[in-house]
Chains A and B, each alone.
Chain A
Amino acid sequence: MKRHHWFIPVLIFAAVMIGLGIRLYLEQREKEAVMTLTENHYQKAYHELTYYVDMLEESLGMSLAMKERNDMRPQLAEAWRLSALALDEANDLPLTLLPFNRTNEYLSHVGSFAYNTGVRITDNRPLSSEEYRNLENLYNESKQIRDGLRDVERKVMADHLRWMDVGTALEGQKQNQDNQVIDGLKRVDGQATAYTQGFSPENPQNSALEKKKLKPLSGPNLSQNEAAAKLKKWLGKPDADIQNISRTGKGASIDAFKIALKNGQRTPINALVTRKGGHIVWFMRDRSFGKRRLGLYEASKRADQFMKLRGPSGMARIRQQQFGTVGVFTYTQNRQNVRVYPASIRLKVALDNGEVIAYNASDYLFNRCDNVPHKPKLTEQAAKKLLNPNLNIKETRLAVFQNPLRKSILCYEVFATKGQETYRVLINANTGNQEKIELLRS
């Protein structure tokens, strides 16, 4: 009897341990399966990236040997396609935290070059010497990048390195440890070239401050307190308290003060005021909304009033849209009846009491493109003739538009309909090229 008592607990203990062991084993296997899946995904992305860059190098090399643009066109279209595919794979790798920028930038550069020289230009004039030089440079760079990528690939294969470890190395403290993949990729990455991407008129440009050649601002340099005083005066709130004020850091493309104003019990106003000249770049207040009392039309009158009082002169309201309990209004500079789209300002009006709760003049301040001539070479009639005859033209005017290469161009802006759809077509007022066509949804 006594022996039995001693025996049973041991048996139960053993059974529990075996059960636990099996469970841990299964869990481990499951975890490994998930990790293998992720690892395979990364591996695939990397191998495809190197493959596409290989093909790209070949395609660029072949176009170099051709004379006529029409012969080159298929190769350039191929390069355009391959660069998009390669970029997609590069973005699938856990590299956001790694300065892998050079390769991505290069790929996007190739893409837009191939598109602009091979796809967009329809005539058959040979490449200009500048275009040809660009193509040569891109080709030489593609060789370097390909070799670098192949080098890393070889190491990964030979030493059975895992991309998962790159992730952990980047995320964790092991930053200074040797990681051959990271080192290899750092070598692929060279110095970044300045390269800029597309932008559509009217659509806000968030990185406006970073990418544009900033228009120099006028006025003397202000101190923190002078800037805050200027903001208070501009807002018509002389009694507001300064809650917080700081200068932008060295990463910012403009030297400015970030100011938070507090007015009694109300929620604070945040604003950015430039150091030079004290121009108000933007302000915004977050608050809760009461019941909607104003329509968009009444709100637009409030916005107009605000612009008349505080905004620059010569601005016209070109667009308004209601989002719940706020209306957003876009103004653009109107110079001799030419709309200058890159120079725009946005206002946000609360529809409960008509207060202007946000203002954004960054595009206007840094993007005014004063140097675009307003005399078109092409007549309006001639421009209209260039349109598809199935379009029903509703409105035509002159406008300055910024193309993907960030050149400001004088265009005829034509609003036209076909069936239920409304189109906006921008025709270069000097060359007659169609710069952009948009399908307007709202």
Chain B
Amino acid sequence: MGASSPIIEVHSLSKLYRLGELRRRRIVSRLARPIRRYLGRQSRAPRPDARDLWALRDMTFDVSQGEVVGLVGSNGAGKSTLLKILSRVTEPTEGHAIVRGRVQSLLEVGTGFHNELTGRENIFLKGAIHGMSRQDVQQSFDAIVAFADVERFLDTPFKRWSSGMRVRLGFAVAALLPHDILVVDEVLAVGDARFRRKALDHVRQLAQHDGTTVLFVSHDLDQIRAVCPRVIQLDAGRIVADGETEEVLAGYLQPDVAAHDQVVDLTGDLTHSTKPFIRRIELVVEGGSTASLPTGAPLTALIDVENTTALPDVDVYVEIESLSGARVLRTRASHLGVAASQTGDGSQRFRCTLASLPLVPGTYWVNAGLTRSYQAGDRRAKALVEVDRKLRLTITDADVFGAGEPFTERDGLVWTPAAWRAE
């Protein structure tokens, strides 16, 4: 194997699935196909049909040896189909892939285990199903058992095992048997947190020390971040993004709806409402017009509220949410002793200034809303209006410490001013 040739080459791979109930005529014609083909009466390519689904369409990419590549995409994007084709479980309809090395696939952890067999018997059985000889399995046996932490249950029938133990053993068998390429489909969504961490560490280590190539499907983006320097995003069977993890994930989490960068005007929806509502939100950026700021910059939000007098205890908040849905911070007017006026026409503007955004580079949402004020004994304030995911804020790399080195998303979850001195 030449050192330069990629370990996996995928060339315009496509996969067609025929949907719908199998109709009698179709089954007959399908079963007769080999005979007709033998007689030279039918071309090899299947005819298109309205009920066909292209699970993969014209997909091309390369993976180099030792790379750990994450695959993301919504359900039905084609992730599992791709892994199944690379594991040779199902064949592509068009295109081809070249795989240079032994593939170990873990499409579901329980595959190959039998409930009536003991743990020991199951390890050998699953090893054989994964194409390993008895000696291969024998050599890895102790490591597998130790990794899965199941010594005590080796001679217990599998049906008496807890589901966590089964998952651990399933992962351990596939991951510890010799291979060049490991294909993992969403199997680390189960199992306890400690084992998940151990498994992720193992995957990372496989790539770093053994040169194993890993294809990793997960809906848990933190897992993807933890192990994959590169991510391929699929949508409807096509590659929509392929590149450095944070960049791809930022695009992946960006919803399709047009988001506003600076002002959101909500007047249209609510003009005749008699309840309090937010008419307009504006982000004011010092010396700029777009909401693209360096880490540590100040941000001001102007919130125009109507009908504040309709209720006696309206409170306003501004919050910053990450694209993966985590609330990074929230500040409420009442925290600072500011309350809506109870007199006048009920129109009021609130100005919220965050002196220094502690955000690492990336994209965020700026949300605002109205709640009832906290009453003594309340667990949480009752929400009145939530303007969520309408305003987008982009934080860029910046040399916040002025030492010539930017603060990036790899430096943590938040930023804080810091002082260093060598003494």
Chain B associates with chain A? no
B-side residues, CB < 8 A to A, are none
